[in-house]
């Protein structure tokens, strides 16, 4: 039976009831997963294999049978490594049913079924005994339960339960130990993702609400490819500090803990951000280490292993503080069973009573719940803000009646400051409305913008407080529900719904949007979609086949969102606008189509297509959600840090000679009734 599912359409804003296969979510999770990234991580796999061999050898040297418990087995790779290294039997636990079934196929294909038992349960539900899932406790514990924050996937509770119930006392563990490192830095770039900064652009000044500046912000980690943040973008204030370690061969606690490290300030500045990562010692000797350090920590950055399943963490301190060179400070990290948070303490008052460890930060100003970190960065981008202010100046007059359609936007505030007669703004939530009200009050223009919690199609002239029609409809556009670049076409649907209250000569800002594309070679991102075939000598093709079946399942063959500033790529074709959407007109009834081809003009391996939107604010002002600089001769691209771009991976990569004889053929169709863009790409040759 195919159930009906209600799905919010991010482009049209409607709730679409669609008949979905019962396997829809299953295929989506597999298709959008990054299992292949882990299998392509040779550094990780090699270090695990070395650690497993060493642990098995030690147990064998004691004259004991080697019984393995592998928690979070995934493909069964680590269990197969253990059996190959000499383990007598492995209990491989995997809670995700499709993954457990794939592991069963892989184990059978590699002829390990007599030595590896796949258990499709959460490890906390596994039983031991004659009738249990495990007939005996294990003396070798192998796990891969880690995320970018180390403990965010529930590693501590799983280890805690395993030591209490599933493994012998004094067991060997691979990895043996994890160590967390941190460095205190000052960074205007990174801090702009946490706090709203004062705006001083084009003679216009705006200050953030005091409540936002006092707020500790959202507690969740900001995980990014820190290798793509240049060291020139921050100033280290502390040395790299060792914060704490967890020995996985001993009982582990998931209760609250705090750890402090004293250090002397290297350079005076503003303490704002903590950069953090961890490493794994695969063996008790400490000689087999798998490090998550960013590439700029390596003597040869180009030799640093790339991985997307484990990145680096950015933590924002609860408040900015000034520190001076040679000052002695303590950096404290606290953690519960799933997350970490940092705080900074001074030792200038030697006799001050000890304070309780800081509690987990939480947002009290609501702005950090309304605006994501990338959205904070976008609002703090002076160049971008200057473009919008310049565009507003060119279209506003003293009798302008403005309506803003964007989520949590500062555009209506700017429009009021620039002298518009009346400004209205549609807000998507009460929380968003309250944040903008606080911005208005902080700038002594409370009441200068009429904030309306109403859907565009419900707005009437009666809601305009005596103003009969709108002369300027404006939007960035930005909507919190957007995932892919073209989801911002929701602005077009709003414009259409509002047509009845717009003056015939109304200005629409932006006046149009265009969808751009180019074919690219990814430096590393290709790994998340590339089949593995064999991994460290083991046939994992059933995993490739499972992922391909899910990729072939309806929507899974569409583009997916990625912040391309974190994932370097080279342009192999020119960039071009493939579709234009005229916001001065209503959404058409008929589909819009576009076909063509782009010659491959640079040599390299074409992995797919990058897609983004650009907005024509006025005749002279364009804002890009993709490329921020022209592509250079080598094809190097610089991307916006604020918006995610769309990526369409080709089914098979294509080796381009760069002579223009091969081209990427494209076909786009915008379906107005669905609010969706269907696309297809292929390689053609002369």
- Kindly give, in sequence order, each residue whose CB lies less than 8 Å from that of residue 680, ignoring residues fewer than 6 positions away: 666, 667
The catalytic residue among 20, 101, 136, 153 is: 153
Judge whether 565 and 75 are in contact, CB under 8 Å.
no
CA distance 672 to 243: 54
Report residue 239 as tokens.
């040395």
Residues found in the chain: 686
What pLDDT, on a 0 to 100 scale, did the predictor assign at position 557?
A: 66
With beta carbons less than 8 A apart as the criterion, state whether 183 and 240 touch. yes
Cα 543 from chain centroid (whole Å): 24
Burial classification of residue 289, based on how many CB atoms lie within 10 Å of its CB (0-12 exposed, 13-18 middle, 19 or more buried): middle
Residue-level pLDDT at 229: 98
pLDDT > 80? residue 480:
yes
Separation of alpha carbons 256 and 353, rounded Å: 21
Residue 547 above 90 pLDDT?
no
Are the beta carbons of 273 and 314 closer than 8 angstroms? yes
Confidence check: pLDDT of 16 > 70:
no
Phi/psi at 86 (5° precision): 120, 5
How many CB atoms sit inside 10 A of residue 184's CB? 27
- What pLDDT is attached to residue 114? 97
Measured CA to CA, the distance from residue 297 to residue 289 in angstroms comes to 15
Q: What is the pLDDT of residue 21?
A: 57
> Which tokens sit at 53?
């061999």
Task: Compute the average pLDDT of residues 434-451.
Answer: 95
How many other C-beta atoms can be found within 10 angstroms of the C-beta atom of residue 383? 9
Q: How far apart are CA 572 and CA 35, in angstroms?
A: 27
Say how far apart CA 526 and CA 607 lie, in whole Å. Answer: 6
Edge-to-edge, what's the strand order for the sheet holding 662-671?
592-599, 662-671, 676-685
Q: Residues 638, 642, 647, 653: is their CA dihedral positive or negative?
A: positive
Q: How far apart are CA 667 and CA 515, in angstroms?
A: 12
Percent of the chain with pLDDT over 90: 86
The Cα 327–Cα 270 span in angstroms is 13
Band of residue 2 on the pLDDT scale cut at 50, 70, 90: low
Q: In whole angstroms, what is the distance from residue 147 CA to residue 145 CA?
A: 7
**CB neighbours of 272 closer than 8 A, spacing ≥ 6?**
185, 186, 187, 190, 191, 194, 316, 317, 320
Other beta carbons less than 10 A from residue 409's beta carbon: 24
Q: What integer pLDDT is reported at residue 568 of this predicted model?
A: 97
What is the rounded end-to-end Cα distance, in angstroms, of the chain? Answer: 47
Would you call 43 helix, strand, or coil by DSSP? Answer: helix
Q: What is the β-pairing status of strands 4-8 and 645-656?
A: unpaired
Rounded to whole angstroms, the Cα distance separating 519 from 611 reads 9
Q: Please report the beta strands in 412-559, taking only residues with DSSP state E, as ranges in sequence order.
A: 422-426, 450-452, 470-474, 502-509, 512-522, 534-535, 538-539
- Collapsing DSSP states into helix, strand and coil, what is residue 372? coil
Average pLDDT over residues 401-415: 96
Distances (CA, A) of 74 to 57, 145, 186, 424: 24, 10, 39, 52
> Which residues share a beta bridge with 18?
5
| 579, containing H or E segment | strand 576-582
- Average pLDDT estimate for 120-133: 97
pTM of the model: 0.94
Could you confirm whether 398 is annotated as catalytic? no
**Would you place residue 17 in the very low, low, confident or very high pLDDT band (cuts 50, 70, 90)?**
low
For every residue of 464-491, DSSP letters joined together read GTT--SEEEEE-----TT--SGGGGGHH
> Among residues 509, 664, 636, 514, which one has the least CA distance to residue 569?
636
- pLDDT of res. 1: 47
Quick one: pLDDT band at residue 3, thresholds 50, 70, 90? low
Least confident of 300-309, 460-469, 587-596, 610-619: 460-469
Which residues, listed in sequence order, are joined to residue 452 by a DSSP beta bridge?
A: 426
For residue 159, give the H/E element and its range. helix 155-165
Alpha helices in 538-680 (DSSP H): 541-551
Would you call 378 helix, strand, or coil by DSSP? helix
Tell me the percentage of the chain whose pLDDT exceeds 70: 94
Contacts 24+ apart (CB under 8 A), 346-353: 347/262
Whole-number pLDDT of residue 461: 87
Helix and strand numbers (H, E) in the chain are 15, 36
pLDDT, one tens digit per residue, over 611-658 is 999 999 999 999 999 999 999 999 999 999 999 999 999 999 999 999
For the question of residue 633 being annotated catalytic, the response is no
Angle at 31 between CA 29 and CA 34, to 5 degrees: 85
pLDDT at res. 350: 45
Provide the pLDDT for residue 253. Answer: 96
- Of the listed ranges 91-105, 270-284, 479-493, 553-567, the least confidently predicted one is 553-567
466-478 tens-digit pLDDT: 777 999 999 999 9
Tens digit of each residue's pLDDT (9 = 90 or more) over 236-286: 999 999 999 999 999 999 999 999 999 999 999 999 999 999 999 999 999
**Chain mean pLDDT for the chain:** 93
Q: What is the pLDDT of residues 327-386, one digit of tens each?
A: 999 999 999 999 999 999 987 644 456 677 788 889 999 999 999 999 999 999 999 999
Contact 34, 309 (CB under 8 A): yes
Query: What pairing do the DSSP bridges indicate for beta strands 89-93 and 116-119?
Result: parallel
pLDDT tens digit string along 23-49? 666 666 776 666 788 999 999 999 999
Helix (H) or strand (E) holding 114: none
The whole-number pLDDT of residue 584 equals 97
Question: In whole angstroms, what separates CA 87 from the centre of its chain?
Answer: 38
Q: Which residue has the tokens 């359609």?
A: 405
Q: Over range 448-467, report the average pLDDT.
A: 90
SS3 446: coil
Q: Which residue has the tokens 């979510």?
A: 25
- The tokens describing 534, both together, are 């064999």
């Amino acid at each position: 039976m195919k159930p009906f599912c209600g799905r919010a359409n991010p482009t049209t804003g409607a709730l679409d009831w669609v008949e979905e296969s019962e396997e829809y979510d299953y295929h989506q999770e597999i298709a959008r997963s990054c299992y292949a990234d882990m299998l392509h991580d040779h550094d990780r796999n090699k270090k695990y294999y070395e650690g497993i061999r060493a642990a098995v050898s030690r147990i064998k040297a004691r004259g004991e049978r080697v019984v393995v418990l592998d928690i979070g087995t995934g493909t069964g790779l680590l269990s197969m490594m253990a059996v190959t290294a000499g383990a007598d039997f492995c209990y491989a636990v995997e809670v995700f049913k499709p993954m457990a079934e794939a592991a069963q196929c892989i184990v059978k294909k590699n002829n390990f079924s007599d030595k590896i038992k796949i258990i499709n349960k959460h490890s906390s539900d596994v039983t031991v005994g004659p009738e249990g899932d495990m007939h005996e406790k294990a003396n070798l514990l192998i796990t891969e339960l880690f995320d970018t924050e180390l403990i965010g996937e529930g590693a501590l509770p799983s280890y805690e339960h395993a030591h209490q119930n599933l493994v012998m006392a004094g067991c060997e563990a691979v990895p043996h130990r994890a160590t967390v490192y941190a460095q205190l830095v000052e960074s205007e770039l990174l801090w702009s993702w946490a706090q709203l900064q004062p705006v001083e652009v084009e003679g216009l000044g705006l200050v953030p609400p005091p409540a936002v500046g006092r707020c500790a912000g959202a507690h969740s980690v900001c995980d990014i490819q820190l290798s793509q943040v240049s060291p020139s973008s921050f100033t280290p204030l502390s040395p790299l500090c060792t914060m704490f370690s967890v020995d996985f061969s001993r009982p582990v606690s998931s209760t609250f803990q705090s750890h402090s490290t004293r250090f002397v300030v290297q350079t005076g500045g503003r303490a704002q951000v903590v950069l953090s990562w961890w490493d794994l010692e695969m063996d008790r000797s400490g000689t087999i280490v798998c490090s998550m350090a960013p590439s700029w920590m390596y003597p040869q950055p180009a030799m640093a292993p790339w991985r997307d399943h484990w990145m680096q963490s950015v933590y924002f301190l609860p408040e900015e503080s000034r520190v001076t060179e040679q000052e002695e400070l303590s950096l404290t990290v606290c953690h519960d069973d799933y997350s970490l948070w940092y705080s900074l303490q001074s030792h200038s008052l030697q006799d001050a009573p000890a304070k309780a460890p800081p509690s987990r930060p939480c947002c009290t100003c609501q702005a950090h719940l309304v605006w994501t970190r990338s959205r904070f960065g976008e609002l703090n981008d002076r160049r971008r803000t200057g473009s919008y202010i310049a565009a507003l100046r060119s279209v506003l007059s003293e009798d302008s009646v403005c309506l803003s359609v964007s989520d949590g936007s500062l555009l209506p505030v700017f429009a009021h400051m620039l002298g518009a007669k009346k400004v209205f703004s549609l807000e998507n939530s009460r929380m968003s409305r309250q944040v903008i009200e606080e911005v208005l009050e902080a700038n002594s223009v409370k009441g200068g913008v009429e904030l309306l919690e109403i859907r565009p199609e419900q707005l009437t002239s009666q809601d305009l407080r005596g103003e009969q029609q709108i002369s300027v409809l404006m939007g960035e556009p930005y909507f919190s529900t957007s995932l892919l670049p073209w989801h911002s076409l929701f602005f077009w649907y709003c414009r259409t719904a509002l047509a009845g209250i717009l003056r015939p000569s109304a200005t629409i800002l932006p006046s149009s949007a265009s969808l751009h594309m180019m074919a690219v070679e990814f430096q590393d991102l290709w790994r998340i979609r590339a089949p593995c075939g064999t991994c460290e000598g083991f046939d994992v093709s059933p995993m490739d086949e499972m992922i391909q079946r899910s990729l072939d399942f309806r929507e899974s063959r569409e583009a997916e969102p990625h912040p391309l500033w974190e994932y370097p790529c080279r342009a192999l074709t020119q960039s071009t606008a493939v579709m234009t959407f005229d916001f001065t007109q209503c959404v058409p009834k008929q589909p819009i189509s576009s076909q063509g081809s782009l010659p491959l003009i640079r040599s390299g391996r074409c992995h797919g297509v990058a897609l983004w939107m650009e907005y024509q604010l006025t005749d002279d002002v364009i804002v890009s959600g993709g490329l921020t600089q022209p592509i250079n001769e080598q094809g190097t691209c610089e991307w916006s840090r604020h918006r995610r771009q769309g990526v369409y991976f080709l089914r098979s990569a294509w080796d381009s000679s760069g002579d223009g004889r091969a081209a990427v053929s494209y076909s786009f169709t915008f379906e107005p009734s669905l609010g969706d863009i269907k696309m297809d790409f292929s390689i053609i040759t002369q």
